[in-house]
Chains A and B, each alone.
Chain A
Amino acid sequence: MQALDNALARVGSVVLGKPEQLKLALACLLAGGHLLIEDLPGMGKTTLAHALARVFRLDYRRVQFTSDMLPADILGVSLFDPESGEFSLREGPVFSQLLLADEINRATPKTQGALLEAMEERQVTLDGLTRPLPSPFFVVATQNPVTQAGTFVLPESQLDRFLMRISLGYPAPEVELELLAGGDLREAVRELRPVIEPAGLVKLIAHVGKVRASRDLIDYVQRLLEATRADDRFAAGLSPRAGLGLLRAARAWALIHNRDYVLPEDVQAVWPSVAEHRLQPREGGQVAAITQSLLQTVPVVRG
């Protein structure tokens, strides 16, 4: 997939030194899933989202979430027009192809809920009228680490709506030097030229579904799910929905690597970003460490 490599390269030219995270973000997009980026402010979350929108020429909106935001601020409102004597719909920012929901955890649970429901349903019901959201439709939400003040933690049930959660982290020193020495990245993002049209992206997403996952591979995925359910270190295991997401993400990852079949490495590559945010530790355990350890203990091939 030359086009995908190009897309990655272009995004990589503005989000420096994070090739793995970029690939994951791209895989998430190709898998048709929503992405949650958890980071401190100023780590390039917005740049990443915007760059993705640019290379796929997606209709992009950014919403900064605040605590006084209401569902209508996201979904839109139905306004009464006294002249015509009719209600007309004013679409909210959710009617876009790529919505960057910045600092989603600053909004009240009610507002968060409205967005997440729209993400799940891919449609909005206003005034008794159901309106489909554009296609493709992605939400890239960013979240401050929960320790920050004035935030509403996303509940577990809603974290499940995000296919992946990634975190960019601080750049490596040499990358940071380059960053400091280089020009304005925001400007560069705006200059990015599209690589794939939205229609092409839709086709790619459809193609992801056709990437072959053999019985052996599906068995492996199932063993992983099962292991989380049986593991006492987690409060609860992964849901079947998580399993489907894992498989889909692995397919997208395989496609990025130019393969039409999934290897166990693909599953392992997307595993932490798909599984970690859906699992709660039981007694102050480190989810990341436990999740990672399952990759060692669950046999890829039974034998």
Chain B
Amino acid sequence: MVRNAWQRWLDRRLPRARQVRLDQRGIFILPSGYGYLYLLVAVLLFFGGINYENNLILGLCFLMIGLFVVAILHTYRNLSGLTLRAGGARSGFVGGQGSLEVVLIARRRGHRALWLRWLEQTAQEVSVERNEETGLWLNLPLTRRGARRPPRLRVESRYPLGLLRAWSLVALDQVCLAWPRPQQGAECPARGGDRERRPAPAAQNGSEEFRGLRGYVPGDALTQVDWKGYARGRGLNVKLFDEPASGRLWLRYDLLEGVPVEQRLSILCDWVLQLSRENRPFALWLPGAELPPGQGDEQRRRALDLLARHGEAD
């Protein structure tokens, strides 16, 4: 109840945004443990000064208190004006960690010894000097598949004297994708390729239908070179083939009938990884989404993202 009220209050006061500039609305400040000890010392010195009727010890005590008050201003100042912007995102598998980039921008003044952490995570320290930008990647444990919004980001600083801690709870509008946790499946849930539903040893340009020739470019597979033509003095050319639709390997969600949703996705995920490792082209079909055939890291990422986003409302 109280927690909810607190959350609502925070959401009103510090709404989620792509970029947040810290100001008096969002900065909280309280003495640190050491700050309380320091004040206790000042109080002890006050009694000492009174009892020894020593005005200089009283003066020392007052100077310490003055320093404390000034430290409030300086600690506040160290956070004030700091701009945080949602940066890039690195996705990860469920059970592992993703990470999100937070860009810190110091416009008017430097901001030193800042500790950043998602609530309930460990913190990282960073400093930004005036007119500089720094990106900081913060890990985020992923527990559920899908797009994960990070909790509020706690930005804390005790600079310069450690007597006070000033902090803010910033909600950055960024998203980290959690891919399904890969799970070994017995059979490849694929259609296409060869009959045994094993991924075909796909040639680079598909297999069957001959389309024509073109000039050799370094990097073309030597198996594709039209050696016969070369022998006939037609120059070094490469044979082009059209990939037959039947030759494409389609990983299909619906082939895993009877398996719970998350598990299906996990199995598909495992196959995506396996095929990518073997550098084979594949395509992916999910209810409501499909990925055309392709290969390589980009294809792998797209497939994983698609799996991660499966079932999302939008």
Contacts and interface: CB of A to CB of B under 8 A. Distances in A.
Nearest to A127: B218
Contacts of B85: 229-230
Given A70-B214, A72-B217, A82 B233 contact: yes
A230 B107 CA distance: 14
Contacts of B173: 232
A202 interface: no
B218 A79 contact: no
A78 B17 contact: no
Nearest to A282: B18
Q: Which of B18, B85, B216, B233 has most chain A Cβ within 10 Å? A: B18
Contacts of A71: 217
A82 B214 contact: no
A82 B236 CA distance: 9
A79 B215 contact: yes
B127 interface: no
B19 A78 contact: no
B233 A79 contact: no
B235 interface: yes
B218 A90 contact: no
Nearest to A83: B233
Contacts of B215: 72, 77-79, 90
A79 B216 contact: yes
Contacts of A72: 214-215, 217
Nearest to B86: A236
A82 B231 CA distance: 10
Q: Which of B214, B215, B235 has most chain A Cβ within 10 Å? A: B215
Q: Which of A70, A73, A127, A230 has most chain B Cβ within 10 Å? A: A230
Contact of A80 (B17, B18, B216): B216
A268 B233 CA distance: 60
Interface string A74-86: 0001111110000
A218 to B, nearest CB: 13
Contact of A126 (B19, B214, B218, B236): B218
B235 A232 contact: no
Contacts of B216: 77-80
A81 B233 CA distance: 9
Interface string B228-261: 0010010110000000000000000000000000
A73 B18 CA distance: 43
A42 interface: no
A126 B217 CA distance: 8
Contacts of A73: 214
Nearest to A68: B211
Interface of A: 70-73, 77-82, 90, 126-128, 229-232
13 contacts: A71-B217, A72-B214, A72-B215, A77-B214, A77-B217, A78-B218, A79-B235, A79-B236, A126-B217, A128-B218, A229-B85, A230-B19, A232-B173
Closest 8 CB pairs of A and B: A77-B215, A80-B236, A230-B19, A72-B217, A127-B218, A232-B18, A79-B215, A82-B233
